[in-house]
A and B are shown apart, each in its own frame.
Chain A
Amino acid sequence: SQTIHQWPATLVQPVGSPLSLECTVEGTSNPNLYWYRQAAGRGLQLLFYSVGIGQISSEVPQNLSASRPQDRQFILSSKKLLLSDSGFYLCAWSVRSETSGRLNSYNEQFFGPGTRLTVL
């Protein structure tokens, strides 16, 4: 069976410090990977997604970056944290469609347990 891990579970960091959040998936190959942020009282915002190693797409301009050094590893980073970076960060994966353009297919996204980041 597939599992998704995120760490750390909670993190408190000072403004201006660097950040590295890690997400790993087990039990599947070539997944699509996603980073979401959930700010207090708001829904989930897609930050980055990746369809393969080294392939990163950014959804919104921000202070964060993402990398995918291995097939099942997705890292969220920042060189200098801002107060506004506080939130709950969720990683997700989905099975990649075998054929692009298959409009009737949807691959469920499976979410990790999340990392709660507080920037002080």
Chain B
Amino acid sequence: AQSVTQPDIHITVSEGASLELRCNYSYGATPYLFWYVQSPGQGLQLLLKYFSGDTLVQGIKGFEAEFKRSQSSFNLRKPSVHWSDAAEYFCAVGRRSSNDYKLSFGAGTTVTVRA
């Protein structure tokens, strides 16, 4: 069994401030971890992913995430947020099934950016 937990439902951050979104997972094997972003009324876009190797992963739009096996976490960070970063962010765990991977998503964290 597996689950993905995003403890923060909603985060408000000032423009230019740093941002960290938490993600914890429970999975019996080596996890494949992802962060997706969903702008209002839109589909999801992949920000970054972790398969193996360097535990600090760089993504698009200035985001990075760090995999910590001991804490079962994959937190997303950005040093300085922009107003355009206001969106909903989803952490996901990939699990292998037949020809491809299925994704299990967390409930999401909504980020509001204030001027």
Chain A residues in the interface with B (C-beta under 8 A): 4, 32, 41-46, 49, 51, 59, 90, 92, 94, 96-97, 100, 103-104, 106-109, 111-114, 116
Report B57-104 residues with CB < 8 Å from chain A CB.
Answer: 90, 94, 96, 98-104
| Beta-carbon contact of A100 and B52 below 8 Å | no
List, in ascending order, chain B residues with CB within 8 A of A51's CB.
98-100
Is B44 an interface position by the 8 A CB rule?
yes
Chain B residues in the interface with A (C-beta under 8 A): 4, 6, 9, 32, 36, 41-46, 49, 51-52, 90, 94, 96, 98-108
The 30 listed contacts between A and B (C-beta, < 8 Å) are: A41-B107, A42-B107, A43-B4, A43-B106, A43-B108, A44-B44, A44-B103, A46-B103, A49-B102, A51-B98, A59-B102, A90-B43, A90-B44, A92-B43, A94-B100, A94-B101, A96-B99, A97-B99, A100-B99, A103-B96, A104-B51, A106-B32, A106-B49, A106-B51, A106-B94, A108-B49, A109-B46, A113-B41, A113-B43, A114-B42
